[in-house]
Amino acid sequence: MTQSTAQGTTSGKTSDTYASAPVPEHMTVPGWRVALIIASFTFALPGFLNGAQTGMALGFHKAVIAALLAGLILCAGACLTAIISVRTRLTTYVLVQRSFGLKGAALVNIVIAIVHFCWFGVNVSFFGDAMVAAAQQGYGIPGNFELFVVIGSILITISTIYGFRTLDRLAMVAVPLVGVILTLVCIKALGTTEVSLAPVAAPPVPMSFGIALSALVGGNMLTVAAMPDLSRFIRTERGAITGMMLCFPFAAPVLMVIASLIALATGQTDIMQIVVEMGFGVPALLMLLLSVWTINALNLYSAGLSMAATFPRVRQWMFIVAGGAIGCIFALMGIINSFIPFLVTLGLIIPPIAAIYVIDGFMKFRATDDTIAPAAFRWEAIAVWLGSLVVTLPARAAELSLTTVPALDATILAAVGYLLVMRFRTAK
């Protein structure tokens, strides 16, 4: 899904050639082409689960408002990260190196790799749910959730090592088709029962409006932070802004409308079970499985690239195997049952990273030579990022918030803190 779009979809030969160097002008494309890629990956199963749980907790109208606001917030952040990448033509990894230092960026890479492993656990849980749903419908498939998760993790890991290029191409077809399946499910659900748009009495995950908004933002922040991997190929800054405005403000609300209506109509958030019970059969189930498979391959591949760049002496396939195993463990531990807290936590970890390299892009590196090697550590960036986590993680646990939206709290704190640190260093 979106959690690996920015890194995964640019992993072909063209992007590898310019992994650590600016993209030449003749390789650039219009912004709408990048917008299509991002929008096509919005309709993924984690996004559906997020929307379904939000719709049941807030009701249809408040859920859609939260999605509209999330789309605007994500669009604003993506515009900033995209503008920086168009100006520099550099990848996210290189931009993070400039801000955090060569070795400081290693810490960021490790954290992002762990996030990808967590996403693997979320998605392979959908794989397990799909197989359980198929088994319960008498398709002759023996096994339980835990066994299916282990088997799925092994198969996805092997296919990532030996067939990633094929899976990458399949993702461009499978993921948009999930949007078609969800739309058909929504139409059938609305046609078979009367739908109450009010919040349900006992939602699976009770949440406030602010937490819902933060989860919606957090679920897509890795895409925003890693946007330069895609947006550096956009021809102009105006094209970058147009591209971001064509996807985020529309994709999030559309998915929310579909997901919340399905959940409110059926009283369920398990899309695999819903698809089977509505009689869509094996083809739809297989298409959902294919989307999970391809997106998880992107997660493993992106994490492998990130870790291989951090530890060049270790082969990339070793990180892929380790990531598959760790993600499998996360799934078996029930990460899918803590999905909303996971997304809220992402909203605390990822936005400060993007805020720091965006500020550097507009201020510190605006008039400097991008070919100058970065320092080993840039302690001011590392301190601000870790300092923001020291404040926001305990505040979230204590349910304290400045804006009622934890992701915004983290972004504002990191941005203001970093600007103050830069001002202090300049004054000295």
CA dist., res. 2 & res. 401, Å (int) = 27
* pLDDT computed for residue 20 by the predictor: 58
Taking residues 82-90, what's their average pLDDT? Answer: 89
According to DSSP, residue 27 is labeled: G
Helix (H, G, I), strand (E, B) or coil at 128: helix
Confidence of residue 360 (pLDDT cuts 50, 70, 90): very high
- Any domain includes 200: yes
Q: Which of 213-217, 221-225, 284-288 has the highest mean pLDDT?
A: 213-217
| One-letter identity of residue 129 | D
pLDDT (0 to 100) of residue 372: 59
* Domain harbouring 176, CATH code: 1.10.4160.10
- CA separation for the pair 133, 204 (Å, rounded): 19
Residue identified by tokens 């762990």 is 114
> Tell me: the pLDDT tens digits for 25-35?
777 788 888 88
Could you give the CA distance from residue 91 to residue 11 in angstroms, rounded to a whole number? 11
% of residues, the chain, pLDDT over 70: 89
Cα–Cα distances (Å) from 23 to 27, 29, 87, 133, in that order, read: 7, 11, 10, 46
Comparison of pLDDT for 413 and 229, the residue scoring more: 413
The answer to whether 223 and 5 are in contact (CB under 8 A) is: yes
Average pLDDT, the chain: 85
pLDDT score at 138: 61
Query: Is position 16 within any domain?
Result: yes
Give the torsion through C-alpha atoms of 43, 300, 326, 94, to 10 deg.
Answer: -110
In a domain, 368, yes or no: no
> At 7, is the pLDDT very low, low, confident or very high (cuts 50, 70, 90)?
very low
* Range list of H helices, 193-280: 209-218, 221-225, 228-231, 237-266, 271-277
Q: Band of the pLDDT at 12, cuts 50, 70, 90?
A: very low
Number of domains in the chain: 1
Q: How far is CA 285 from the centre of its chain?
A: 23
Nearest 5°: the CA angle 411, 417, 420 is 140
Greatest mean pLDDT among 117-121, 166-170, 298-302, 424-428: 117-121
**Mean pLDDT of all residues in 112-132:** 90
The verdict on residue 106 lying in a domain is: yes
For 14, how many CA atoms within 13 A lie in the half-sphere containing its CB?
Answer: 14
pTM: 0.84
In a domain, 369, yes or no: no
| pLDDT reading at 321 higher than 70 | yes
Instruction: State yes or no: pLDDT of 386 exceeds 80.
Output: yes
Q: What's the rounded Cα separation, in Å, for the pair 252 and 248?
A: 6
Instruction: Give the C-alpha separation, 352 to 407, whole Å.
Output: 9
**Residue 192 placed within a domain:** yes
Count of alpha carbons within 13 Å of 244, Cβ hemisphere only? 29
The boundaries of the domain holding residue 236 are 2-338
Cross-strand pairs, 234 = 29
Residue 374 covered by a domain = no
**Residues 224-245, mean pLDDT to the nearest whole number:** 89
SS3 state at 29: strand
Is residue 413 situated within a structural domain?
A: no
pLDDT at 164: 63
Closest CA to 299 of 372, 226, 238, 200: 226
Closest CA to 183 of 285, 261, 269, 281: 261
Q: Over the range 300-323, which residues count as b (16 or more CB within 10 Å of their CB) and which as e?
A: bbbbbbbbbbbeeeeebeebbbbb
Average pLDDT over residues 135-151: 81
**Quick one: which of 320, 234, 315, 205 has its CA closest to 30?**
234
